[in-house]
Structure 1
Amino acid sequence: MADDANRSLTNRHLMPVVAAALVDDSGRVLLQRRPPGKQMADLWEFPGGKVEAGETPEAALVRELAEELGIRVEPVSLTPLAFASASLGDRHLLLLLYVIRDWNGEPVALEASALAWLRPGEMDDVAMPPADVPLVEALKRLL
């Protein structure tokens, strides 16, 4: 019997999710804390969310950043960096991380319980969802 990593998606739903590594002029990256009551509450994550039916990943990320942080991002400012893949029971998460260095507005925690600007090396000291952890390694190599 094949292990979970090799199972087909026949009985599972593929869930594409987009995330942003907003990088400031000092090389710090914005993380947001998941609010109480949500799955994986209190873990720190890259801002972003699910890609809705009919949306491109880039359009979804622009929308999510406006909803979650109140900032405006132009699609041309999104640079793909890495992805992670993780099984979540009957769903399979495909998490796409984009680097963003240019946006309009000051990020505000509209849906998260807190925001923090951290260097990639400092992210090893905060609890993050399992799918976000390998993305930190890509950021360490970039920044």
Structure 2
Amino acid sequence: MVNQIVVAGAIVAGSTVLIAQRTRPPELAGRWELPGGKVAPGETEPEALARELAEELGIQVIVGRRLGEDVELNPTMTLRAYTATLIGGEPQPHDHAALRWVSAAELYEIDWVPADRGFLADLRRLL
């Protein structure tokens, strides 16, 4: 079985990072995550992240370096985070309930999806 890579973007502006509130699946609805999605066949991880952020948020980004370690979502899916810089568009929650810019001080107060908690220490250092 090929491992499906899921990419997430830490979009940083100043000393804040953009987070998105999930609408699905029901067990994750209302919790917060770094936005992103699945890498399609033939795509690089940075290409997939740029495409997903354009689709989900209506923005253009430059994808930067990896953030933190891989997070195993299940036996066939791995989550990887990257830094990203907003270069065009105003983020809109096309695929999410809401969007929020949060500071390092707020990171540990957020009701994160479990997988994204693994990135908090690296996010805090980034901010």
Q: Is this a same-fold pair by TM over 0.5?
A: yes
Q: Please, what TM-score do these two structures have when normalized by structure 2?
A: 0.88
The within-5 A match list for 1:30-69 is: 30-38=18-26, 40-69=28-57
The within-5 A match list for 1:76-87 is: 77-87=63-73
Q: 1:54 to 1:29 in 2, by over 3 A?
A: same
Q: Please, what TM-score do these two structures have when normalized by structure 1?
A: 0.79
Once the two structures are TM-superposed, the CA of residue 37 in structure 1 deviates from its matched residue by: 4.9
Once the two structures are TM-superposed, the CA of residue 83 in structure 1 deviates from its matched residue by: 2.9
Alpha-carbon displacement from aligned partner over 1:21-65 (angstroms, at most 9, x marks no partner): 11112x100000001555511110001001111111011001000
The within-5 A match list for 1:14-29 is: 14-25=3-14, 27-29=15-17
Stretches of structure 2 that go unaligned for 5 or more consecutive residues are none
| Cα separation, 2, equivalents of 1:13 and 1:38 | 26
Moved over 3 A (4+): 36-39
RMSD of aligned C-alpha atoms? 1.8
Asked if the contact 2:61–2:85 (Cα under 8 Å) also holds between the matched residues in 1, the reply is no
Q: 1:102 to 1:43 in 2, by over 3 A?
A: same
* Structure 2 counterpart SS, 1:103: strand
| Cα separation, 2, equivalents of 1:117 and 1:32 | 9
* Structure 2 counterpart SS, 1:101: strand
Once the two structures are TM-superposed, the CA of residue 95 in structure 1 deviates from its matched residue by: 1.4
Indicate the structure with greater strand content: 2
Percent identity over the alignment is 38
Q: Which amino acid aligns with 2:77?
A: L
The within-5 A match list for 1:1-143 is: 14-25=3-14, 27-38=15-26, 40-74=28-62, 77-88=63-74, 91-143=75-127
Q: 1:134 to 1:36 in 2, by over 3 A?
A: closer
Asked if the contact 2:21–2:97 (Cα under 8 Å) also holds between the matched residues in 1, the reply is yes
Count the aligned residue pairs: 127
* Structure 2 counterpart SS, 1:81: strand
Stretches of structure 1 that go unaligned for 5 or more consecutive residues are 1-11
Q: Which has the larger radius of gyration?
A: 1
* Structure 1 counterpart SS, 2:13: coil
